[in-house]
A and B are shown apart, each in its own frame.
Chain A
Amino acid sequence: MLRRLFTAFALTLIASFATANEITSFFIERIEVRNTTRVSPKIVVAESLLREGNTYSEADLRAASLRLARLPFVLSSEYSLEKGSQRGRYILVISVTETKPFFFLLDARPTVIDDEGPRTIEYEVDPSSQTKDAALGFRWFVGGRGVVHAGATARRNRQAFTTNYSAWEAGYTQYGILGTRAFATFNLRLPFDSPAEGLLSPQFVTGIPLTTNQTLTLDYEDTNFRRDTIRIKGIDFDRQDSERLISLAWTYDTTNEPFIPTSGTIVRVAPLRAMRDRSSFRFALPNPTVPSGYAQHINGYGLDFIAQHYWELSDADSVSAGVIAGWADVEDKQHPRVFSTDIGWRPAYQIVRAGYARALRRDTRLEFDARVIAQQTNVQEGEAAFGVAPTHHHSLQTSAAWVKRTDWGTLRLGLGYAWSY
């Protein structure tokens, strides 16, 4: 009886929607942004991707609302309509709760590594935390569609042939370039946690939202870790260590907020090219007491893929699951030649992760995360050369964290445990 009833229900519902589904849409003659004190209303409108003089459905407005909620300087936004100048025309009112000009994104989750087995590599696995924004700093809105920021940032790439480092950063972002959806950021960085002291290094990021959920981003970075001259035994040697990184990323993002999403999907596909140039001196055969110059060039090609979905189980509980995978091709050349390596395309990492989060209060929650590193490249043996002696290990990594997101920023405190097998 019940089964028949339920089948009838499904058929009836499908039929009713097939015939009676109507889409309500609204002609928006003006967009007003309210409750802003620091955030530029023009940027809010530009990033909503809604334009005056167009007709939008509620689905369009919902997608725009979610897009605004993912902006790092907007804590939340509410949409409402008011009557326009004529019947059938509307004024869209976006009421924004903005974040403070000081911002931080701090993730303090030290991992205890059981090092009895092969070495465990810690990968950045949280797609919602991957941001080109500085991790700590100030943000000013200038000139209607511009944002200046200054602070400290951390670059974290999963590919072993690129360099992770922290840097001081100052930058400017222009939204709505030439009236289009495009944005561009120019940063100057000064690495302070890198192979050398670091020199002023430029970064240029430009992107265009294809839809409210899809964005195409081009990232160009030149990082100068060292450029000096050293005199050894009366001989001057130029020392240089620079890295150039070019990546193109397509991102599909329907999550409900940045940093701590509880619903939605993130998919990102990012091919990248890295070039590393080093020159210095060394003591080598056949005259090990006499320094001689050498140069090294590393060409790295990589592809990074991440897909993650968040499910809201209840008001307080959410779960997430996803996969992360990377492929790489690295060519390592030296002069004078010691060895040359071209490993060819091969898997670099394969990670499966799952998480559970429980909201404690409005702005805090507990997170539990587990991930299986199905494949990883052992950088301990390969180091920057990557392909010299690549060995692959498996590891399990877990972490628990307390997270708080307020209008000041996001703080994640916790502890992780990892072991290889």
Chain B
Amino acid sequence: MVLLIRALFVAAIAAKQPTFVAQSDRVVAVILPASLLSEPDVQRQLNSGLTITFILRSQWGGGALAAAARIEIRYDLWDEVWLVRRIEFDGKETRDRLASRDSLDNWWSTPARIGATTSDRVTLNVTLTALPFSAAEGEDTRQWIAKSGGVTAGSGSPLITALIGTTLNAKPIHAWKWRTEIAFR
């Protein structure tokens, strides 16, 4: 019985842990578990008909280097499709219209590129913050671009990194933090 509970506990934790992948050109990608979208507060925002924005911030080199990526999801109530957008650390943008929740879960769990390094081995601190409303509008967008450009330029300032979140000026719905070590061959 104890073993069963322990196994369930370990499985539950594992289900919320992302997988970090070393890609070519020393790029780090993350595979986010679909269970994150099932958190009650995230689920509530997903069902609101409004955008939920996820900011992925990664730091390495003792915080001296940083990068950011962003994911936006909105359920269109009339078309009954999920409108999704992902901007990776190097500015690569993908947009899609997904017809089902299963499709959304699958899209969510495709690798998202969150940073690149010159080292053979790197320890990453990754924060995923879920925010209500879209960031991709008006002045906020311009600020986000300017600031995320500054962050990825390697300034490494934690304050500037934090501004990605405060630019939205909304109280986070949920936040997750992970630490991982990636080795490149």
Q: Which residues of the other chain, B, contact A5 by a CB distance below 8 angstroms?
A: 90, 116
The listed residue (B50, B162, B163) touching A79 by CB distance below 8 A is B50
Q: Which residues of the other chain, B, contact A21 by a CB distance below 8 angstroms?
A: 136-137, 141
Q: Which residues of the other chain, A, contact B118 by a CB distance below 8 angstroms?
A: 1-2
1/0 contact string of B116-142 vs chain A (CB within 8 Å)? 101000000001010011101110111
Q: Which residue of A is nearest B139, CB measured?
A: A59
Supposing A6-B153, A58-B134 touch, asked if A83 and B162 sit within 8 A by C-beta, the answer is: no
The listed residue (A16, A78, A312) touching B162 by CB distance below 8 A is A312
Contact assessment for B140 and A59 in the assembled complex, using a CB-CB cutoff below 8 Å: yes
B44 on the interface (CB 8 Å rule)?
A: yes
Give the CA-CA distance A3 to B155 in the complex, in Å.
11
A114 on the interface (CB 8 Å rule)?
A: no
Q: Which residues of the other chain, A, contact B142 by a CB distance below 8 angstroms?
A: 17
Give the CA-CA distance A207 to B89 in the complex, in Å.
45
Give the CA-CA distance A17 to B134 in the complex, in Å.
14
The residues in A between 1 and 37 inclusive whose CB is less than 8 angstroms from any CB of B are: 1-3, 5-14, 16-17, 20-24
Query: How many residues from B make CB contacts under 8 Å with A?
Result: 46
Q: Looking at the complex, which of B4-12, B102-110, B167-175 is the stretch in contact with chain A?
A: B167-175
Contact assessment for A313 and B159 in the assembled complex, using a CB-CB cutoff below 8 Å: yes
B165 on the interface (CB 8 Å rule)?
A: yes
Q: Which residue of A is nearest B75, CB measured?
A: A81
Q: Which residues of the other chain, B, contact A76 by a CB distance below 8 angstroms?
A: 171
B92 on the interface (CB 8 Å rule)?
A: yes
B145 on the interface (CB 8 Å rule)?
A: yes
A82 on the interface (CB 8 Å rule)?
A: yes
Q: Which residues of the other chain, A, contact B136 by a CB distance below 8 angstroms?
A: 17, 21-22
Q: Which residues of the other chain, A, contact B169 by a CB distance below 8 angstroms?
A: 62, 66, 254, 256, 263-264
Q: Which residue of B is nearest A316, CB measured?
A: B175
The distance from the CB of B85 to the nearest CB of chain A, in whole angstroms, is 9
* Contact count band on A: 35 or more
A90 on the interface (CB 8 Å rule)?
A: yes
B58 on the interface (CB 8 Å rule)?
A: no
A65 on the interface (CB 8 Å rule)?
A: yes
B149 on the interface (CB 8 Å rule)?
A: yes
Interface of A is mostly: mixed
The distance from the CB of B47 to the nearest CB of chain A, in whole angstroms, is 7
Contact assessment for B77 and A10 in the assembled complex, using a CB-CB cutoff below 8 Å: no
The residues in B between 1 and 58 inclusive whose CB is less than 8 angstroms from any CB of A are: 44, 47-51
Interface of B is mostly: mixed
Contact assessment for A59 and B138 in the assembled complex, using a CB-CB cutoff below 8 Å: yes
B74 on the interface (CB 8 Å rule)?
A: yes
Q: Which residue of B is nearest A265, CB measured?
A: B169
A337 on the interface (CB 8 Å rule)?
A: no
Contact assessment for B137 and A23 in the assembled complex, using a CB-CB cutoff below 8 Å: yes
Contact assessment for B91 and A13 in the assembled complex, using a CB-CB cutoff below 8 Å: yes
Give the CA-CA distance A261 to B39 in the complex, in Å.
26
Contact assessment for B51 and A10 in the assembled complex, using a CB-CB cutoff below 8 Å: no
B182 on the interface (CB 8 Å rule)?
A: no
Contact assessment for A90 and B163 in the assembled complex, using a CB-CB cutoff below 8 Å: no
Contact assessment for B48 and A79 in the assembled complex, using a CB-CB cutoff below 8 Å: yes
Q: Which residue of A is nearest B151, CB measured?
A: A6
Contact assessment for A17 and B141 in the assembled complex, using a CB-CB cutoff below 8 Å: yes
B100 on the interface (CB 8 Å rule)?
A: no
The residues in B between 75 and 114 inclusive whose CB is less than 8 angstroms from any CB of A are: 77-78, 87, 89-93
The listed residue (B48, B90, B140) touching A9 by CB distance below 8 A is B90
Supposing A9-B149, A9-B152 touch, asked if A16 and B93 sit within 8 A by C-beta, the answer is: yes
Contact assessment for A61 and B93 in the assembled complex, using a CB-CB cutoff below 8 Å: no
The distance from the CB of A369 to the nearest CB of chain B, in whole angstroms, is 19
Contact assessment for B154 and A6 in the assembled complex, using a CB-CB cutoff below 8 Å: yes
| Residue of B127, B133, B168 ringed by the most chain A CB atoms within 10 A | B133
Closest 3 CB pairs of A and B: A81-B49, A80-B48, A10-B149
List the interface of chain B (C-beta within 8 A of A).
44, 47-51, 74, 77-78, 87, 89-93, 116, 118, 127, 129, 132-134, 136-138, 140-142, 145, 148-149, 152-154, 158-159, 162-163, 165-166, 168-172, 175
With contacts A62-B132, A263-B169 known, what are 17 further pairs, Cβ within 8 A?
Answer: A3-B153, A7-B153, A8-B90, A8-B91, A10-B153, A12-B90, A12-B92, A21-B141, A61-B133, A62-B168, A65-B133, A65-B170, A66-B169, A69-B171, A81-B49, A83-B77, A256-B171
